[in-house]
Amino acid sequence: MKQDGQTAERRTDLELVGVGDIRCEYKRNPVGIDIANPRLGWKLFGSRRGVMQTAYRIQTAEEDPGFGRLVWDSGWAESGRSQQVEYAGEPLRSCTRYHVRVMIRDEAGRESEWSEPAFWETGLLEAGEWTGDFIGCEAEGDGSQAEPVPLFRKTFQVSGAVERATVYVTALGLYELRLNGSKVGGDLLTPGWTSYTNRLQYQTYDITAQLREGDNAAGALVGEGWYRGSFSWDHQRSIYGNRSALLAEIRIRYRDGREERIATDESWKRSQSEIVASEMYAGEQTDARLLQPGWDLPGFDDSGWKPAERIEADKRRLVAQVNEPVRVQELLRPVELLRTPAGDTVLDMGQNMVGFIRVRAKGPAGAEIVLEHAEVLDKDGNFYADNLRGAKQRNRYVLRGEGDETFEPRFSFQGFRYVRVAAYPGEVKPECFEGVVIHSDMEQSGRFECSEPLVNRLQMNILWGQKGNFVDVPTDCPQRDERMGWTGDAQVFARTACFNMNTASFFTKWLLDMKAEQMENGAIPNYIPHVLPKPRAMAAWGDAVTIVPWALYECYGDTRILAEMYDSMVRWVEYMRSHGEEGADWGKQPQIGDWLALDAKQGSYRGATPEDLVAAAYYVHSTGLVVKTAELLGKEEDAARYRRLHARILDDFRREYVTPNGRIASPTQTAQVLALMFDLLEERDVPRTVTALEELLKKNKNHLTTGFVGTPYICLVLSRFGRTDLAYELLLQQDFPSWLDQVKKGATTIWEHWDGIKEDGSFWSADMNSFNHYAYGSIGDWMYRTVTGINTDPEKPGYKHIHIEPQIDPRLSYAKASYQSLYGAIEAGWSRTDEGMELTVAIPPNTTASVVLPAASRRLLLESGTSVNAAAGIYRTEETADGGIRLEIGSGRYRFTYPAEISEQVPEPTN
């Protein structure tokens, strides 16, 4: 055993550790934070091994980049914590910029320099601070049809040198705010979609650079969006209200200390824009001949405009934006221009994407462009839009006839790979069309690659599924007349999502809506935000309320979201309990079980695993998460109470679903998977269940039959119980049903059904057949956690301590992944070389890791070419029970090599 002896003493010969990338509430220099004690985080930079923070000091200054006016000096805090550190200074004031800098002491006792300063700016902390009113138009039609998008405008004076100008803005509907002729901020679909009746987000923008001394003009368009446009498969209109409205407040601070406010009120004027109709599913229609040039500039003659109307709306529900806004992320060019057998002109974007087409054209006034969007071509190569059901996804533009014109929808988006150009003035040239990809502006944090190109394409498909469905809300699909925040889909994909992108703020915002929409009796509606009457709750869907916060805790060390959601988690468990004291009673409620599993009866959506078994299993699981959360939050009594409930319903599960001889009563893959995954069995029944799962797989030639419930866990379970070889087999299958079967059929996203496109090229059905449904993308979690072996440690969550244990398979020659944790980049990769194994690992400063090298012997193990015993940063090595080596290491980059005999055996043939 080797111990690191240099921790306490001062070393002066070491490179100085840098501190930087300061975040507030996960964001860099955010404006508009309305949290009383926001959380700060920073990274340490240093390439030497074993960098740790032993103490930190934070200073926060109010409106003073020179750090003279301090509102908080934490002093030296003896702590290794560098994430999730709560601001604990003087109470924060609204609309104020707080500058922050951090200094740390490293493991050798050396102090760093101050970090580069960062800042956050508060929003309007109290609803009563809004000066203006919501403004809108008088109701025009009866609300049964999409109405033209209104314009609002207001001119105002800027009289002097501006120190800083900020706008706070939101809408009932979707808005685009403009100042002196250009858009404010780069965000789309603002204010986003929340539980509007309870929470309406506002955005904050620094507009100092957009103002000018003298005359200025503010303008806005307000579309119907989720608030009031046709939405849900029932095509309801006015779900939240029948008047769209705008609320904005500009605050100008002059250098001489004066402050001025320009807020929405009846002095604003209104007119009609060139957007004649815009809806989420239907698409957008613009008649550019109606454009009023210069309407958002100061000199414009608005004498013909009417005064805006004041709209009564509750401002107490206003909250600052929590998640990253939706923004343009990338641009795609068509890869092909097709002429289909049916005679249509169709552009192939090469990728099933979400966003819209930006189109350029030149033509006479009144000429039309009509674009229709779909995900697939049918087996004859024709444009196929039947699976979109009632979503037309049709954008129409009428040209103004003045030279080059460019169009794109402002308040609608489409999910598509193919674009049917139903009308266009002149020849259709691909270079005039551009695919604009949009999604919530999350940082991509994960990358995965291996020696099998089809798996790499699968990884891309998973990522594209996430891009397309993380458009402000985690939706089931982005194209048909649904696009809703289905809880089950989000919960099964949550861990994969956290690998691929930093989803902490994205999910936090959604969970706050979930909390707001939880029903009196504790039920969690099936989709959040909730849009249809008569909310229903079901197992595996409602359990998102325990599972997603727990995922955020594990991946980001976020205990605040657990505290925030704790009551909701408890109330959900109590809701399940309210159906009867027996663990199985909850399952007697209407459920949908292992949705879309292949062992379903012909034509049915529901898998063969009894729905009550699924419900009873999740009941135990959620109760277990409540116990862990109560323990973590120090709620001892609750922890004890739910521990008792957990023990009881676990017992009920066994009595109901496990025979006295230890066989699970339901012979389905998913039943075995759940029992193993959620630790529902007595120790002695585990091997038999693993064998049962193996046999069920074998019966199916090592193919899965699992649906939404079983699929996310099947490979995790196989790996946990020693059958990683079988898990690889499932991953690497190339025929139906499998992940790679879809890839081989040309999928560029994840399909809703294993057999979305059948062997003969026909489709599953038109009524529910999405080609961009991320649930089965949940295999990504296993790929990161098992193939490359990057894992969290629940004891030190958020990757403060990292667990790296790749499980290697002869069918791959290499695999590597990187994950940008809050502490910095984690990397793990292995490759089989002529000499044996090579494993590279990178661990960020201020974290430690346990690394397990499979089939390695200490005697022959080298790190960067020398003995591990001599390597810096390695604190401990020990042999594992199954013939590998476990190392405890500190930060840094390592390259381990060893001669290894990885079994060349693959599972026995199955025909």
Cα 705 from Cα 710, distance rounded (Å)? 9
Least distance CB 673 / ligand BGC (angstroms): 18
CB 60 within 8 A of CB 72: yes
CB 44 within 8 A of CB 51: yes
Structure tokens at 114: 């101050």
Least distance CB 538 / ligand BGC (angstroms): 8
Least distance CB 626 / ligand BGC (angstroms): 23
Chain position whose Cβ is nearest to ligand BGC: 476
Closest C-alpha among 233, 237, 212, 234 to residue 224: 237
Q: Determine which one of 107, 147, 482, 517 is catalytic.
A: 482
3-class DSSP state of 460: helix
CA distances from 199 to 39, 46, 314, 317, 762 (A): 21, 42, 10, 5, 44
Least distance CB 754 / ligand BGC (angstroms): 14
Residue type, 785: R
> Judged by CB, which is closer to ligand BGC: 592, or 841?
592
Known catalytic membership, residue 759: no
CB 123 within 8 A of CB 202: yes
> Judged by CB, which is closer to ligand BGC: 751, or 896?
751
Least distance CB 628 / ligand BGC (angstroms): 26
**What are the residue ranges of helices labelled H in 599-685?**
611-632, 636-657, 669-677
β-pair partners for 889: 849, 874
β-pair partners for 892: 843
Element holding 286 (H helix, E strand) = strand 283-287
Angle between helix 611-632 and 636-657 (nearest 10): 160
β-pair partners for 445: none
> Judged by CB, which is closer to ligand BGC: 606, or 811?
606
Which residue in this structure is represented by tokens 């101050």? 114
Least distance CB 437 / ligand BGC (angstroms): 22
Least distance CB 488 / ligand BGC (angstroms): 5
Backbone angles phi, psi at 561, to 5 degrees: -65, -30
> Judged by CB, which is closer to ligand BGC: 270, or 773?
773
Structure tokens at 857: 């012997």
Cα 90 from Cα 672, distance rounded (Å)? 54
Element holding 369 (H helix, E strand) = strand 368-374
For the chain, what is the total number of helices (H) and then of strands (E)?
A: 14, 47
Longest dimension (CA), the chain: 88
> Judged by CB, which is closer to ligand BGC: 592, or 871?
592
- Local structure of residue 640 (DSSP, 8 states): H
Which residue in this structure is represented by tokens 């006839």? 401
- Local structure of residue 756 (DSSP, 8 states): S
Between CA 720 and CA 470, with CA 820 as vertex, the angle to 5 degrees is: 85
Closest C-alpha among 293, 318, 356, 316 to residue 123: 318
Angle between helix 686-699 and 724-732 (nearest 10): 30
Q: Determine which one of 121, 284, 408, 752 is catalytic.
A: 752
Least distance CB 596 / ligand BGC (angstroms): 8
| Binding positions for ligand BGC, rule: CB under 6 A | 476-477, 482, 486, 488-489, 592, 595, 768, 773
> Judged by CB, which is closer to ligand BGC: 477, or 852?
477
> Judged by CB, which is closer to ligand BGC: 476, or 741?
476
> Judged by CB, which is closer to ligand BGC: 775, or 837?
775
Least distance CB 769 / ligand BGC (angstroms): 10
CA distances from 140 to 116, 145, 290 (A): 54, 10, 18
CA 899 to chain centre: 41
Q: How many Cβ atoms from other residues are within 10 Å of residue 521's Cβ?
A: 10
CB 175 within 8 A of CB 220: yes
> Judged by CB, which is closer to ligand BGC: 411, or 595?
595
Element holding 310 (H helix, E strand) = strand 309-311
Structure tokens at 140: 């025009």
> Judged by CB, which is closer to ligand BGC: 132, or 488?
488
> Judged by CB, which is closer to ligand BGC: 537, or 822?
537
Known catalytic membership, residue 694: no
> Judged by CB, which is closer to ligand BGC: 251, or 483?
483
CA distances from 870 to 9, 220, 581, 595, 866 (A): 20, 66, 60, 54, 7
Cα 98 from Cα 88, distance rounded (Å)? 13
Cα 153 from Cα 188, distance rounded (Å)? 20
Which residue in this structure is represented by tokens 């309407």? 295
Cα 273 from Cα 221, distance rounded (Å)? 7
SS3 of 699-730: the string is HCCCCCCCCCCCHHHHHHHHHHCCCHHHHHHH
Least distance CB 603 / ligand BGC (angstroms): 16
Least distance CB 70 / ligand BGC (angstroms): 51
Least distance CB 476 / ligand BGC (angstroms): 4
β-pair partners for 372: 394, 420
Structure tokens at 531: 């849009």
Q: How many Cβ atoms from other residues are within 10 Å of residue 604's Cβ?
A: 11
Least distance CB 613 / ligand BGC (angstroms): 18
Query: Which are the catalytic amino acids?
Result: 482, 752
